[in-house]
């Protein structure tokens, strides 16, 4: 399915279904539903009896195969999330980590698919999502295919961070940019999804509706508890680090990044952007904070975010990242 804010873009692409390039790069910030859109668009192109607006009929044999996940003319290259499972033998008790890169083997595995005739005499579609997870060798292998496109083949590349893609790959794709929907439309959609405090979570997600819904679903009051301690002059570093350690490391670092950004916004523009429910505390702390210290803290948090998934001592990391914030209370 597509989301309401994607309807105009779908109509635009559907009207060009007979004159599409060999590769489209669907890009925009996370939480806008780009992969959902790509799947909806791919199904519409493979549908044997599309509707007047270009959408898939959902009733033909091709739609049945697509929705079942085994259409013979469609391939999805992705990060295959593996369920954590115990290993046997000496390594018993260990878990396998989900992959973080798309490897060259995944691209090479497309060779047979690319060289055989289509089963329904229609298009052949390859979806690569997230495309920015391609490692160097995989990107080079894909580039060779994009340089010599086969007739009737369409590549759909989905990326939150297109800057991480090789310039040679970007240059061989037609860009399709996904913009943030209007605030009122996004809030109405969130309300229809049953999200309470839609304006707050939409702000926390930077205007991305799907990310706002995800944040609302996972919220258990831990963000508020952390920030209440951070803005309370009586709270100790030990209390703060203990609260942070209760959350996944990328999560609490993300909240601190938004907090530091809000302090900068408050100091320079007079209003926060993300943590709207802490506007009074942010205004008070922004008055005390030094601009250069804020910029240094924001850079420290950004560097720490890159290592957030590595095996670190969460408590020690939290203490080192929280000390600058304490000095601003």
Among the three residues 147, 179, 211, which one is the final residue of a domain in this structure?
179
Give a yes or no: residue 113 inside a domain: yes
Give a yes or no: residue 199 inside a domain: no
Number of domains present in the structure of the chain: 2
Range in 59-63, 77-81, 131-135, 235-239 the model is least confident about: 77-81
Averaged pLDDT for residues 258-272 = 96
Which pLDDT score is estimated for 302?
A: 93
Give a yes or no: residue 30 inside a domain: yes
Radius of gyration of the chain (CA): 23
Whether 228 and 129 map to the same domain: the answer is no
Whether 268 and 132 map to the same domain: the answer is no
Evaluate if residue 96 carries a pLDDT over 90: no
Which pLDDT score is estimated for 73?
A: 94
Q: Give pLDDT tens digits for 114-170.
A: 888 888 778 899 999 999 999 999 999 999 999 988 888 999 999 999 999 999 999
Which pLDDT score is estimated for 306?
A: 81
Averaged pLDDT for residues 240-267 = 94
Whether 56 and 158 map to the same domain: the answer is yes
Whether 78 and 171 map to the same domain: the answer is yes
Among the three residues 179, 198, 232, which one is the final residue of a domain in this structure?
179
Question: What is the spatial distance between Cα 260 and Cα 227, in angstroms, rounded to a whole number?
Answer: 11
pTM of the model: 0.87
Whether 34 and 168 map to the same domain: the answer is yes
Averaged pLDDT for residues 60-68 = 95
Among the three residues 146, 179, 212, which one is the final residue of a domain in this structure?
179
Question: What is the spatial distance between Cα 132 and Cα 159, in angstroms, rounded to a whole number?
Answer: 6
Residues forming beta bridges with residue 76, ordered by sequence position: 127
Whether 25 and 127 map to the same domain: the answer is yes
Whether 19 and 113 map to the same domain: the answer is yes
Averaged pLDDT for residues 36-40 = 97
Whether 108 and 247 map to the same domain: the answer is no
Evaluate if residue 299 carries a pLDDT over 60: yes
Whether 247 and 170 map to the same domain: the answer is no
Secondary structure letter of residue 102 according to DSSP: B
Q: Give pLDDT tens digits for 41-50.
A: 999 999 999 9
Give a yes or no: residue 210 inside a domain: no
Which pLDDT score is estimated for 312?
A: 66
Secondary structure letter of residue 150 according to DSSP: P
Question: What is the spatial distance between Cα 198 and Cα 145, in angstroms, rounded to a whole number?
Answer: 44
Which pLDDT score is estimated for 81?
A: 40
Cβ(25)–Cβ(173) below 8 Å: yes
Q: Give pLDDT tens digits for 171-221.
A: 999 999 999 999 999 999 999 999 999 999 999 999 999 999 999 998 889
Evaluate if residue 86 carries a pLDDT over 60: no
Averaged pLDDT for residues 255-268 = 96
Question: Residue 12: which CATH number?
Answer: 3.40.50.300
Evaluate if residue 99 carries a pLDDT over 70: yes
Give a yes or no: residue 257 inside a domain: yes
Give a yes or no: residue 158 inside a domain: yes
Whether 228 and 152 map to the same domain: the answer is no
Averaged pLDDT for residues 60-64 = 95
Question: What is the spatial distance between Cα 91 and Cα 288, in angstroms, rounded to a whole number?
Answer: 52
Whether 122 and 66 map to the same domain: the answer is yes
Evaluate if residue 288 carries a pLDDT over 80: yes
Whether 23 and 74 map to the same domain: the answer is yes
Give a yes or no: residue 197 inside a domain: no
Range in 12-16, 80-84, 292-296 the model is least confident about: 80-84
Averaged pLDDT for residues 215-228 = 93
Question: Residue 260: which CATH number?
Answer: 1.20.272.10
Give a yes or no: residue 229 inside a domain: yes
Q: At what angle do helices 291-306 and 249-269 cross, to 10 degrees?
A: 160
| Domain that residue 304 falls in | 220-326
Which pLDDT score is estimated for 88?
A: 43
């Amino acid at each position: 399915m597509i989301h309401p804010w994607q309807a105009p873009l779908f109509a635009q692409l559907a009207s060009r279904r007979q004159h599409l390039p060999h590769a489209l790069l669907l890009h925009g910030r996370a939480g806008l539903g780009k992969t959902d859109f790509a799947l909806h668009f791919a199904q519409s192109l493979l549908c044997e009896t599309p509707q007047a607006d270009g959408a898939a009929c959902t009733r033909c044999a091709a739609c049945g195969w697509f929705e079942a996940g085994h259409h013979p003319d469609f391939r999805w290259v992705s990060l295959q999330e593996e369920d954590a499972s115990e290993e046997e033998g000496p390594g018993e008790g260990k878990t396998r980590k989900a992959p973080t890169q798309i490897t060259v083997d995944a691209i090479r595995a497309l060779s047979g698919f690319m060289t055989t005739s289509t089963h329904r005499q229609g298009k052949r579609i390859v979806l690569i999502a997230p495309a920015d997870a391609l490692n160097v060798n995989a990107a080079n292998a894909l580039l060779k295919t994009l340089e010599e496109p086969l007739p009737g083949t369409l590549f759909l590349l989905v990326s939150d961070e297109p800057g991480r893609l090789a310039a040679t790959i970007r240059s061989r794709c037609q860009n399709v940019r996904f913009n943030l929907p209007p605030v009122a439309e996004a809030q109405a959609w969130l309300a229809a999804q049953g999200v309470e405090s839609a304006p707050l979570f939409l702000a926390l997600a930077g205007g991305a509706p799907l990310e706002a819904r995800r944040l609302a679903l996972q919220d258990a009051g831990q963000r508020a508890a952390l920030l209440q301690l951070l803005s309370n002059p009586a709270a100790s570093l030990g209390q703060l680090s203990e609260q942070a350690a209760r959350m996944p490391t990328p999560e609490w670092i993300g909240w601190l990044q938004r907090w530091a950004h809000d302090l900068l916004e408050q100091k320079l523009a007079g209003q926060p952007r993300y943590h709207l429910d802490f506007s009074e505390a942010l205004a008070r702390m922004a008055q005390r904070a030094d601009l250069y210290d804020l910029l240094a803290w924001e850079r420290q948090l950004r560097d720490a975010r890159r290592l957030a998934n590595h095996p670190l001592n969460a408590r020690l990391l939290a203490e080192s990242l929280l000390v600058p914030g304490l000095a601003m209370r």
